[in-house]
Structure 1
């Protein structure tokens, strides 16, 4: 689409990462306000799990359709539309007066956020040279903890001073500003690198590629851990450290900021390790597998007590998780032959992995209610991560095709 050497790519990088920050700030606001919201809607731990996962229902279903729209209509139009839609949903959530109405706004939020990471991978493939792709995608993923930190801190402060409803409206307005900036600054012309021939996604070729399944299984396992912490971390810290709502929110923000800083460093380390290696044969999988394995350090949490141990362990586990997910997205981009189908293939992979994301907060709620503590949740997550590491190290060893061009314009083969 664009020459990778253009300095303007850094503007695109910053805007894309900010999209991720805003996306996760909006999600974190729910977790930060959950102690208050749970009281208003009379939620049990199981009920909290279902509410926390509700945005993932539409997110899961619309990952692939949203990604296909990206490949069809381009990042400029779909990016602005998607962020505007989820920001409107966020604002409407602050106006909801019943639990069903509130859940509807969370489902709307998930629908708007569905194209987020396919768009990030599409932008990275189009704008980032090979030597920057891993770092750019790690920065995109590190937008997650930065957004969670900002959303937790801002959410707690706004809720304490103005109430949770006003907090949701204010945070939604921030997304509207981003959408206007993206529409203004992203280049209007988006010429497909393949010329005028339309590329269409071939499920038979993708599902027949062992590399795709290795990446997907790894992503599923990482997403379980990702959404577990993203959804439950304020309550985890409140339980482990005996904190109040405001203090738990602030320490949650500290964990996220520390993990983002370390994650960016890990992204650069991983990219340095990749120099001179054959990316088309899955060399990046070693970085992905190592980082996912080290994120299993969250299994040490049952043996920790006090802020001086709990906070560093959470931050380090999150950092390796974020860096691993970013490297896994770069691995997928490395191995897809057709540049113009990066978003669709990424969306397909996230359709699978977000199923694990949907399960994580719900499973945690049931395990917590059955056991009375988070220990079993942490141990289960470590076992799942180890399974993901095995898939990543064994399967993604060669590039694969994702397309079948047809004159009839079929979507799937």
Structure 2
């Protein structure tokens, strides 16, 4: 008969010390995610100059925004399985080099097709970024010490926008949008050089696997569990809002509300500042609730899904109010509340996923919810193209976003039960310890 088995979160090994160099790697990976989101935001930030120079329609620009995600999910899944065998140090280096190389063609004169192809290549390189970075961080910190480095890593995305938007907008306004892409390519090469010099592979992965005896759970069982499905559905709604922010927020400010490119650059920071506050508050509150013995159903599932509902309701009010300031406020707060779900879903999946399968399952989760990035920018483009008024088109697109967020939040509330998921799988293993 097989030896007793455990699932992630059902047993604890003796706490391990944090290896020397862990915080150095954390800082480098924070910068990695910062560059990652700066690369994402540049097309939306330069949206109006790009549309003007290339004579693009709203539908074409929506397609350009979606193109980034054409290979995003496929790449995330493939690389998610690769990092089970290949050191993350080298995978991260290759990803960063792909990002850098994909930016440089835009420095010269390019057409719509070239820009589209380069964004597809960039998306393929950036699809695995978050899951590989998390996997790399977990090789440096034992389970009980991962909350803070994970929070720091997640803030790289917000700071990537907060710091990059003013700098990139300065380049766009004073030198043209082509040079903004070139600047990002140079930054990508600089990070690659720093990582090649200072980056290291974490030593704790083998220790963790050696200290935890477990059997593999069929991937079909993990991927059809209600909590996994709930995480995908809830985060899909949140990512719909994020992808619209990346592609359409700045053009909405300029063409829809009449702000200048320079003004829009500063306003574009606001959703990310508010979102960063939501992320940090959710992480802190979740840990406080769990420390007091609150179930992960409440401390993670309900806490993460409920803000999506309120955020969707705020965005739904946008067409029914007057004034640019009020509409911006509703959009900033409504979309910013989505940040709560990103904090809780990966830990919930980790509660019931065996350690040896965690990287791939989290990668698949990311690949599925980011499919919203393909759909949302195109839908917004079609709404704008089909509307008699530019502003009405934007309002229709944001209303669709609001409905999707509310549905996503309600689905999350219904399905996110990680504590019972863990217990169910553990009981199943006890009955049938030989299942593969």
Q: TM-score, normalised by structure 1?
A: 0.86
Sort the Cα spacing of 1:144 and 1:81 in 2 relative to 1 into closer, same or farther, 3 A.
same
Q: How does 1:61-80 map to 2 (within 5 A)?
A: 61-80=74-93
Alignment pair present for 1:385 and 2:405: yes
Range that drifts further, 393-402 or 84-93: 393-402
| Change beyond 3 A, Cα 1:15–1:342 | farther
Q: In structure 1, how many angstroms separate the alpha carbons of the residues matched to 2:217 and 2:48?
A: 44
Asked whether the 8 Å contact 1:131–1:275 carries over to 2, the reply is no
CA distance in 1, matches of 2:174, 2:373: 32
Q: Does residue 26 of the first structure (1) align with residue 35 of the second (2)?
A: no
Which SS does the other structure have where 2:403 is aligned?
A: helix
Shift of 1:131: 5.8
> Partner of 2:317 in structure 1?
300
Aligned partner (choices 251, 255, 259) of residue 267 of structure 2:
251
Name the Cα RMSD after superposition.
Answer: 3.0
Residue from 169, 184, 196 that aligns with 1:156: 169
1:363-394, CA deviations, whole angstroms, 9 ceiling, x for partnerless residues? 11112222332222222222211222222222
Judge conservation of contact 2:87–2:201 (CA < 8 Å) in 1: no
Structure 2 residue corresponding to 1:394, chosen from 400, 414, 434: 414
TM-superposition CA deviations, 1:322-366 (whole Å, max 9, x none):
232222223223332x22322211111122112222101011111
2:137 and 2:225 map into 1 onto residues whose CA distance is: 23
5+ residue gaps in structure 1? 403-412
1:187 counterpart = 2:207? no
- The separation in 1 between residues aligned to 2:295 and 2:360, in whole angstroms, is 21
> CA 1:12–1:287 in structure 2 vs 1: closer, same or farther (change >3 Å)?
farther
Larger Rg: 2
1:238/1:330 Cα in 2 relative to 1: closer, same or farther (>3 Å)? farther
Counterparts of 1:7-156 in structure 2 under 5 Å?
A: 8-95=21-108, 97-128=110-141, 133-134=146-147, 136-156=149-169
Establish whether residue 238 from structure 1 lines up as the match of residue 254 from structure 2: yes
Taking the TM superposition and a 5 Å limit, the aligned residue runs for 1:203-282 are 203-277=219-293
Q: Do residues 317 (structure 1) and 334 (structure 2) align? A: yes
CA distance in structure 1 between the partners assigned to 2:107 and 2:406 by the alignment: 39
Check conservation: 1:86, 1:111, Cα contact below 8 A.
Answer: no
- Whether 1:365 and 2:381 are equivalent positions in the alignment is yes
**Equivalences for 1:344-359 in 2 at 5 Å?**
344-359=360-375
Partner deviation per Cα, 1:63-98 (whole Å, 9 max, x = no partner)? 100211222213211111111111211223333522
Deviation track 1:287-328 (CA, whole Å, cap 9, x = no partner) reads 111232233233333344446434433332343212322222
Q: Report the more deviating stretch, 257-266 or 43-52.
A: 257-266
Alpha carbons 1:141, 1:323 under 8 Å: kept: no
Number of the residue aligned with 1:332: 349
Unaligned 5+ runs, structure 2 = 1-14, 427-435
Count how many residue pairs are aligned between Structure 1 and Structure 2: 402
Q: Would the aligned equivalents of 1:282 and 1:335 in 2 still touch at CA under 8 Å?
A: no
Counterpart Cα distance in 1 of 2:147 and 2:332: 21
For residues 111-147 of structure 1, give each alpha carbon's deviation from its aligned partner in whole angstroms, at most 9, with x where no partner exists.
1101112123324544455566455444434333322
2: CA distance between counterparts of 1:128 and 1:13? Answer: 10
Contact 1:121 1:346 in 2 (8 A): no
Instruction: Name the residue aligned to 2:9.
Output: none
8 Å Cα contact 2:234-2:408 kept in structure 1:
yes
2:295, 2:193 → 1: CA distance? Answer: 36
**Structure 1 residues 188 and 127: alpha-carbon distance in aligned structure 2, compared to 1, 3 A threshold:** closer
8 Å contact kept, 2:25–2:200: no
Contact 2:254–2:260 (8 Å) recurs in 1: yes
